[in-house]
Structure 1
Amino acid sequence: MVGVVVTGHGGFAAGMAANVKMLAGSDAEVKAVDFADGMDVEVFEKQLAEAIDSYADCEAVLVLADIAGGTPYNRAAGLSMTRPRVRVISGLNSSMLMDLCMRNITGDECPDVDALAADIMQTGHENIGKFVLEVPAQPQEDEDGI
């Protein structure tokens, strides 16, 4: 099993955790650490470290953050420097989290955490799209009326 920590600004992490539990069920193991408005950065980092360290028995831990360069991402990256089993990914979307949680639920092994991180990022890329309405072409009337 791979430890899964979701972090972000405001209620992002709690919302993503609720999202995946609704889709994958209560077996989806996710720790959510939100960086709330006005929250002390040191308090946030302590909560993030506790969430990461709670997965001491896991092969690896993936920390999934909302955006690169934000406080949650930066603090997670800093914590990963002293925790060799931890990888930090930014740009989290529901598809990424669902993929990772389903791998844990189905018992997929994680021999290479970097390959897993790349797979999860690829899932994120593949599931970004735009709806395009396809309007059927109207039949053309002949000018002669025939």
Structure 2
Amino acid sequence: MKQLIVMGHGGYAQGIKANLGMLIGEPENMHFLDLGIGDDFSTFQNRFDELVLRFEEEEFFFACDLPGASPFRVAAMHCAMHPTRCVVVAGLNAMAFIELGMNSEGPLYDLARKAVDTTKDSVVLLDVAALTSESDRTST
């Protein structure tokens, strides 16, 4: 089974956990690891190491809040040592996490590509001015 590890700053991972808990329930293969305000890099690294050791021979999908930041770097270092068993992405949104929580089957890279595509496709800008203008034209 693939292990999905959500990592980020402050309460990012716990926020994703709460969001998923409300919408689809917490997937059993999804884990949440935050770098807290008082944490240093080595403390976070140790918590990360403890988590991945529990699933030593499994595949890992690391979803981080920001590219290049500490959680991302920790995941990237792990993936450099295990390139065939893990993938790292950053910046996913709730729609991507919902999809991952409901279905994490298939090759890791395909899951990562789909999660990135879902994030891109689900971002919406509501143009209220255009909607208002359209309704003004149709109501006259």
Taking structure 1 as the reference length, what is the TM-score of the superposition? 0.82
Tell me the residue number matched to 1:42: 42
SS at 2:39's partner residue? Answer: coil
CA distance in structure 2 between the aligned counterparts of 1:16 and 1:40, rounded to whole angstroms: 22
CA distance in structure 2 between the aligned counterparts of 1:29 and 1:131, rounded to whole angstroms: 34
Taking structure 2 as the reference length, what is the TM-score of the superposition? 0.85
Tell me the residue number matched to 1:31: 31
Give the superposed CA RMSD: 1.8
Tell me the residue number matched to 2:70: 71
Structure possessing the higher radius of gyration over alpha carbons? 1
Q: Deviation string for 1:31-51 (max 9, x for gaps)?
A: 111001131211101212222
Q: Deviation string for 1:67-115 (max 9, x for gaps)?
A: 10111111111111112311110012111111101004xxxx32x2111
Tell me the residue number matched to 1:129: 124
Gaps of 5+ in 1: 141-146
Tell me the residue number matched to 2:91: 91
Residue 110 of structure 2 corresponds to residue 115 of structure 1: yes
Give the structure with the larger helix fraction.
2
CA distance in structure 1 between the aligned counterparts of 2:26 and 2:68, rounded to whole angstroms: 31
